[in-house]
Chains A and B, each alone.
Chain A
């Protein structure tokens, strides 16, 4: 089937309608995304839900618009469909293989939900917040405010680690090192209180401090007492601020009570 024959199946009189559909879909997308973003900002504890709704709405609107536009513009007869079903379909399939696989992977991501919009995930060496699950790729904003686009189909075979899995709060882990001769009991209490008194901590989930003594990772000769705090931040967006706040409080408390950190001991 050549181009002139193919053009017979194109309904040119439906082009204005198709354009209207495209414009309407774009407008609807903009409005709905804006509305959902406003709701997400207003109700932070439902932020992830609104982001997820936004991803689903985007998918659905684009797919429906695509189907309506293609269906109205191109109307194949049975014979033409049979003809196309041959070599052209094969060629198109190969050409759009990756795109289609990304599209299908996007749908699977939406329904299987290994993560969702708003989650903080680690994938392929990148850690950040999932900003959007698009038709072709997932957009990740790293802590350095870099936008990373990862094709959807890569998530089907790769390992994804989600820090909050759909919840607003997420666990943060901080390590503090003190010298082996320091008062570890007091240090443990101080670290605990520093984390508990932070304005970012989520008190609805447990806060623990673990203690470990041994060589520091990557070294064989440097021994220290490691205090590991596992606490939840009430909103994943404040993860870094939480870490900073706890670190400041701990350092201040250590200084006040004469507990030397590993760096001070080594010096």
Chain B
């Protein structure tokens, strides 16, 4: 790698999509289909980046039959704290239905079930994302891989592009664009949950600097069951597991869904083991065909997970399988900032999940739906603007926020590795994040706010690490939005658990909007659509 300062690559596009997972790919394809010129940048490689590519994922695909749709919408309504909104659920079910058939027409090899027709309930990530990359290219979209965006550009009219760097060539880039879609995923805080180490909340930080708001950041306590050594997060398969203490006794009440908190409480004291001993031979075969990479970990270490007990832990998945994210203000997935759109896990998923999601399924449906709408909305927004849309004198927003973009040399500054460790120390422990309390959250926020001030003084890069100053700043900012929101919700709802307020409180049946960088703020807004569900359930 050359250390010489290179001249920036300068490009223009109607729509810039930041992030090349499913949401970004759908956004790019749809925007191009509207006649917009489109560039997609990915910090890794569009096709392998993100949580979807490495694994199999369920899809929230439901045939347009009234009863089936009704059941699908209501099945998780209570689990999500009644914060999901029916019109959004209906839109997503409709769009997902169409998008899945679109993928079939593009050549995705869906399995054939007993009906003799294709079954659309899941996709294999490597296959799906390889296909999506091909379609992005076929749509005429220019892809820049290994090209993280470092900051958004903006003028008085709104967002006008982004600037970043190619990590392999070290060449900076600047893209002037009439509209930007943020599809950078959630934030899993470098926990190595499968495929998530590119997901460090970069898009949240950029959106926050532009003045966008967040919603539901308190719903950020997702932890996945993994074999102790492994990155592979396939919590759903543990429905066929029994959980054991080290001495072989069964842990009462432990389970992959509602019983996960019992696993967490046990892990705080002692090791926990699992065995997939509830799966019969026929199911074992189906499980292998459904999740090839889940079994890689076991096969390579010569463990038979169906007969042998193996140690497990819970790996933090943050907002990737939480539901909070950038707040969207209309059906085009626009944010409150003109020209800025959000899709996929970067955006709030409360609209269809409320305060709980299991990963895959709803999130996958949301990615393809919100990606579609954001791409369409961004293209229309861009094409409405005149000839001068690329001559706007837009400036980088990090200058305004004071959050550094470049590393500093000074030895006295905190380094990226130290920031990562300090933030992880606040968000990983179950007794801080999963089981929250006013005392614990306030103490964490004190330390995180102090860290934020230190970051603004400048950060140096830890030797031998890829992780950049923007990524660690984004993680810190994300943790602060999470915990301020968690502090404001003085009840237990969805995945958000308060040990000091263990019950749901009907008076807090609202969404929490948050924002701000130096001064983080949180305010409630009424959940618009189903305001009376809570009361009806209580009656």
Determine if chain A interacts with chain B: no
Where the two chains meet, the residues of A that have a C-beta atom closer than 8 Å to any C-beta of B are none
